[in-house]
Amino acid sequence: MVDPVQEIIEERERARERGDPLVDVCYLVTVASIDRAEARALTLRDITHRGIGILINRTSPKWRQLSQTETATLLIHWPSVRRQYRIWGRIVPMEADRVDTYWKRKNLGSKLLEHYYTDVQAQSRPIASREEFLAGIDALRRRYPDVNTVPPPPSLVGVYVDPRDIEVWHGSEERLHDRRLFRRSGADWECTTLVP
């Protein structure tokens, strides 16, 4: 039986070898209200049999939406290897040491932005101007001038989307794509072929 999570791990490495610019990108889809879904690009942190890992700030609308439904859909698309994966599953917490590992890999600007959400203004909230935003970042830069000394803010959280359904799309030049749906069944996966 094909393990779709293992396939994603292997195809990511193949995409990385080919220099795919989207190798560390995924698209998170959440439900904002009964008549509105929202999608946004995020950094794809981890792919393991535990799930697909991402970091989120608790001040963000996406965190509120995930907290309400406790589920999410992720889309991963790597054009260089003609692979696309739609993953639906439950949200489960990421281990603290994994969050710390990914925090250490962030650049200074990204770390300052996480602190901005906690110390100045929550993510996605209105602000008077870009200049006001940059002034807040500059104040944080004076407080934390070195990337290695910036502590993670308490609002940062890591989560996995624990896959229950994975739709696999293998693209072909003739557009006669191979499309399959894997559905978790206990410890195994049931596979159904879909019309592309």
Q: Return the CATH number at 51.
A: 2.30.110.10
Alpha carbon distances (Å) from 114 to 55, 135, 141: 11, 15, 12
Structural domain that includes position 71: 4-97+156-194
Q: What pLDDT does residue 92 have? A: 95
In a domain, 164, yes or no: yes
Count of structural domains within the chain:
1
Q: What pLDDT does residue 8 have? A: 96
In a domain, 113, yes or no: no
Strand partners, 170: 83, 178
Our CA dihedral for 118, 146, 143, 133, rounded to 10 degrees, sits at -50
Alpha carbon distances (Å) from 122 to 104, 119, 174: 22, 8, 47
In a domain, 117, yes or no: no
In a domain, 93, yes or no: yes
The dihedrals phi and psi of 66, each to the nearest 5 degrees, come to: -65, -35
In a domain, 137, yes or no: no
The string of DSSP codes covering 161-190 is: EEEEEEEEEE--TTS--EEEEEEEETTEEE
Q: Which residues of the chain have pLDDT under 50?
A: none
